Amino acid sequence: MGDVVLQTATINWLRSLLGEEATFSFVTSKEFSSLIDTHPEVKSVISFDRRGGETWKDLIKKIDELHEKTPIDLILDLHATLRSFRLKLSYWTIPSLTVDKRRWERFLLTKIKSVRLKRLFDKKLFGLEPQVERILKDFEGIFGDTRSKRRTVDYRKGPNEELTSLASLPVYPLPGPYIVLAPSASFSNKRWPVERFMDLGKKILNETTLHVVVLAGPDDKFCEAFNEIESDHFHNLQGKTSLKESMSVLANAQGCIGNDSGMNHIAEAYGVPCVTLFGPTDPRFGFAPHGSKSQYISKEMFCKPCSTTGKTPCYRDRLYCMEEISVNEVFNAASKLLGNS
């Protein structure tokens, strides 16, 4: 999910580089197409509904139809996975470019078990800067561009412009200013414990006038634990909003507190200040929030990062990387970004 949101900056940059005549079509999984289908620079979205039973042939047929109507001049592989490689192979006569996702550098970081050595992975030394900036810098070299206005430093400007179309979506009826808690993540290791999120929610209710909204998907059953918080200022929307509605809720929030996950990327794309909590992954992977008010919390420890995605099961007796992040620490970070401290 986060990858799709972040790549809106690439599309915006290409638009400024190639002018109004260029058209962009985006190929993505159906569950993520809502993230991009109202983007003003994207002419069409080809969604692949694998869960709904669509086959590879169906996907190729859709792309063929597009290619017949508007010949494809260039394929940009922004995902760099086996599946996207297979897709490029299917259209091997069309020139293509593939992003370098710095998987090797990330992998290396997981293998170093010394905090001091890990610090050598400073962004200047190893180039582990924000992923969006890295990708655009790579493309700049290829396209020979130094003139474009919407460059890497405009990262937030790019996705923010999505608001021009997304702001018209119906906003979930929420009273008063609110802060979003996003306790979900693609893998359970990447989740700050739900009890901590609950304590944080209670603290926000007790010490501020803000409403608190929980956003999570229908499969995030662990969020049912929030139902025990009884307050007319607390709204557990887990499983109640579509992705588009969640985006609207995020776009109108005062702030968002969540794990290293897509929800925080969406919030940041809307210019909503975020506190992002990193567990087994590492901000040096390039997915830390970049907004001027946003910040992240990540504990340094020998075992972290233990995988490039957070998927690998924890090999220690406890999830230290997450459990060492205290409720007070997160609350204080959120207070600063909201200007309440």
Answer left, alpha or beta for residue 303, where phi above 0 means left and psi between -120 and 50 means alpha: alpha
Q: Does 303 bind ligand SF4 (CB under 6 A)?
A: yes
Cis peptide before 175 (omega within 30 of 0): no
Neighbour count for residue 257 (Cβ, 10 Å): 30
User: CB-based burial of residue 124 (10 Å sphere; 0-12 exposed, 13-18 middle, 19+ buried)?
Assistant: exposed
Q: Which CB, 189 or 248, lies closer to ligand SF4?
A: 189
- 22 contacts ligand SF4 (rule: CB under 6 A): no
Which one, of 288, 294, 251, 249, lies nearest residue 274 by Cα? 294
Q: Which stretch binds ligand SF4 (CB under 6 A): 49-57, 95-103, 256-264, 313-321?
A: 313-321
- Which of 314, 325, 334, 338 forms a contact with ligand SF4 (CB under 6 A)? 314
Q: Which of 115, 108, 105 is nearest to 302 (CA)?
A: 115
Of 4-12, 36-44, 46-54, 301-309, the window that binds ligand SF4 (rule: CB under 6 A) is 301-309
1 binds ligand SF4 (CB under 6 A): no
The answer to whether the CB of 71 falls within 8 A of the CB of 195 is no
From 280, 286, 289, 291, residue interacting with ligand SF4 (rule: CB under 6 A): 280
Q: For the CB of residue 274, give the shortest distance to ligand SF4 in the complex, in Å.
A: 21
Alpha carbons 196 and 201: distance in angstroms, whole number: 8
Q: Which of 108, 163, 319, 327 binds ligand SF4 (CB under 6 A)?
A: 319
317 binds ligand SF4 (CB under 6 A): no
CB of 312 to ligand SF4, least distance (A): 7
- Determine, following the binding rule CB under 6 A, whether residue 320 of this chain makes contact with ligand SF4: yes
> Are 223 and 146 in contact, with CB atoms under 8 Å apart?
no
Amino acid (1-letter code) at residue 213? V
Cα separations in angstroms, 37 against 8, 186, 246, 269: 11, 22, 15, 15
Q: With respect to ligand SF4, which residue has the nearer C-beta, 217 or 280?
A: 280
Site for ligand SF4 in 138-197 (CB under 6 A): 189
| Smaller CB separation from ligand SF4, 87 or 306 | 306
Q: Which stretch binds ligand SF4 (CB under 6 A): 191-199, 239-247, 265-273, 312-320?
A: 312-320
Q: Mask: binding to ligand SF4, 230-269, rule CB under 6 A, as x and -?
A: ----------------------------------------
What is the H or E stretch that residue 323 is in? helix 320-323
- On whether the CB atoms of residues 159 and 291 are closer than 8 A, the answer is no
CB closer to ligand SF4 out of 137 and 316:
316
- Applying CB under 6 A, which part among 93-101, 119-127, 267-275, 298-306 lies near ligand SF4? 298-306
- Does the protein bind ligand SF4 through residue 306 (CB under 6 A)? yes
Other CB atoms within 10 Å distance of the CB of residue 205 = 17
Measured from the CB of residue 131, what is the shortest distance to ligand SF4 in angstroms?
Answer: 20
Instruction: Answer for the pair 258, 337: CB distance below 8 angstroms, yes or no.
Output: no
Which residues make up the interface to ligand SF4 (CB under 6 A)?
A: 189, 279-280, 303-304, 306, 314-316, 319-321
